Chains A and B, each alone.
Chain A
């Protein structure tokens, strides 16, 4: 048994929020650079991608958030079952870290009541997902999730007969219907299987992976590749200006499902993948 004080978790979330909001992950920045080389010289598509690369540089030098939508704070926590957390409840520690970071680093507070639209003024609550795992470590991933892209996400309850083709079609359709709105080139986090709720969680979790990685299952990796090729054939292009690069990656995660179903969740991420990780 290992004891971790909730203050350590709060401080970790505070540091992760800063790191995540100030810049995109390196694999995303290099994917944008490659994309800029693929688009036609002087095109609006290339102009958009070059502006984004310049923006990433400005965010670094000025220590400003790379995007003003510093998002709904999504925290994925893997908690070893041999860990005892003392002090405040876990959710309070996570929300405390979010509250302090969004105030201290001047991030935008974007969380409000769904009906009255009154802002909570401190960007809490975070969306906290916990998984109890073996061991005595705590692993945290912080994803500030912008809603221009979140709004374009979809969940399909396919029938088993729709199979692999149905899965690929659902991913491509989601990106096609989103058009220019989610700030393409996008990244698709895809959950395949599970239940209505766990499928959506898998899609979110997929977005914590690095770009350029593939699911270890060969058949799932094949879905990732085929869906990406079909999305890039849509021609939506960067910012919807038309072009070769509509998505930077498709990241799929799978889980067993019911004999009667085939859930597919497509969580759209804009071109700016922001994610920070820490192990306690």
Chain B
């Protein structure tokens, strides 16, 4: 299985094709419904974000609290479609990878191609497996959002499938 390191480079993104199974290692940011709303509100007000989107990969997830001695609790992907309203804007600002579950809107698919990005499907429901693959977790923004806050994760061997690639390939369109 192909092993990829985060953050992804543009060259690596070009080699990815829908349907490939991959293992991701490195740094990613978490963010889901409320965090996306806040990010876009900050952008509307012209404020600087507490993290950089350039080249970043966002994991649509809201973890369980960590058990003692662990970096993270169960942490599988949530449904990506709810972030479709925000994703094209973030992609245009430099976001390069998204990890979630389920299909995306046409606007997101177009932005993935336009911006040379990639969307990975993590396996929905495999919360224990993904939580266990988080080696380090650091709170980055919006602590009041609890599980919906933005965390920076260092992960090892996150199993994913390339779902939508920068060439327009889409595992959900058959």
| Chain A residues at the B interface, C-beta cutoff of 8 Å | 44, 47-48, 51-52, 54-56, 58-59, 62-70, 106-110, 117, 119, 121, 148, 151, 179-183, 235, 239-242, 270-272
| Chain B residues at the A interface, C-beta cutoff of 8 Å | 19, 21, 34, 61-67, 73-76, 78-79, 81, 101-103, 121, 123-129, 131-132, 146-147, 159, 161, 171-172, 174
Q: Which of A107, A119, A239, A242 contacts B123 (CB 8 A)?
A: A239
CA distance A197 to B103 in the complex (A): 31
CA distance A240 to B174 in the complex (A): 10
Contact check, A239 vs B124: say whether CB atoms are below 8 A apart.
yes
- Which 7 residue pairs across A and B have the least CB separation, nearest first? A55-B126, A59-B128, A183-B124, A68-B127, A68-B74, A55-B129, A180-B102
CA distance A170 to B78 in the complex (A): 26
Chain B residue at minimal CB-CB distance from A43: B19
Residue numbers in B under 8 Å from A55 (CB-CB): 76, 123, 125-129
CA distance A44 to B73 in the complex (A): 26
Name which of B121, B129, B174 has the most chain A CB atoms within 10 A of its CB: B129
Contact check, A108 vs B34: say whether CB atoms are below 8 A apart.
no
Contact check, B146 vs A121: say whether CB atoms are below 8 A apart.
yes
Residue numbers in A under 8 Å from B63 (CB-CB): 68, 108
Contact check, A242 vs B127: say whether CB atoms are below 8 A apart.
no
Q: How far is the CB of A271 from chain B (nearest CB, A)?
A: 6
Q: Which of B34, B64, B161 contacts A68 (CB 8 A)?
A: B64
Contact check, B102 vs A181: say whether CB atoms are below 8 A apart.
yes
CA distance A119 to B146 in the complex (A): 9
Q: Which of A64, A183, A235 contacts B125 (CB 8 A)?
A: A183
Contact check, B147 vs A110: say whether CB atoms are below 8 A apart.
yes
Instruction: Given A51-B126, A109-B147, A235-B174, check contact A148 B79 (CB 8 Å).
Output: yes
Q: How far is the CB of B97 from chain A (nearest CB, A)?
A: 18
Contact check, A270 vs B146: say whether CB atoms are below 8 A apart.
no
Chain B residue at minimal CB-CB distance from A67: B127
Residue numbers in A under 8 Å from B132 (CB-CB): 58, 62, 64
Instruction: Given A58-B132, A62-B132, A151-B79, check contact A106 B64 (CB 8 Å).
Output: yes
Residue numbers in A under 8 Å from B126 (CB-CB): 51-52, 54-55, 67
